[in-house]
Amino acid sequence: MIKGSCLCGGVNFELTGPLRNSVACHCVQCRKTSGHYVSATQVAPEQLRITKDETLQWYRSSPPAERGFCSRCGSSLFWRHDDDKGATSVMSGTLDGATGIQTEKHIFVADKGDYYDITDTLPQHDQ
């Protein structure tokens, strides 16, 4: 089991089972919600248990998707698409301790900011 939380502790959660490797998303929405780009793992509904949700808020960021964040500290925590059978992307930086995952690829690289370069050799995809 891997635990995670927002910065202030108003939202806590647990993840069980194997985690997908992290995907770095450079789309405009991810850059706006995080201040840079997002790197996230993904879990099936039965793998995510929210143990404290006193400050958890959901924002419909596009017609088919919503983002979960802390209303007190502003931490970006979750992203879920209506058509993904309940799968939830979990921001990798919100996980506590060692995760055993690595960044697997970059997506929406055509939308990345001009203030940084992607210098690793991971696959890059425009979705």
Q: Which residue has the tokens 């808020």?
A: 57
Q: Which residue has the tokens 């059978």?
A: 85
Summarised one tens digit per residue, pLDDT across range 12-33 is 999 999 999 999 999 999 999 9
pLDDT band at 11 (very low <50, low <70, confident <90, very high): very high
Alpha carbons within 13 angstroms on the beta-carbon side of residue 113 total 11
Residue closest to 95 by CA, chosen among 9, 10, 14: 14
Q: Is the pLDDT of residue 84 over 80?
A: no
Question: Please, which residues have CB within 8 angstroms of residue 49's CB and are 6 or more apart in sequence?
Answer: 13, 14, 15, 16
pLDDT band at 83 (very low <50, low <70, confident <90, very high): confident
Token duo for residue 106: 């970059």
Give me the chain's average pLDDT, please.
95
Q: Is the pLDDT of residue 127 over 80?
A: no
Summarised one tens digit per residue, pLDDT across range 35-59 is 999 999 999 999 999 999 999 999 9
pTM: 0.92
| Beta pairing class for 38-43 and 11-15 | unpaired
pLDDT at 86: 80
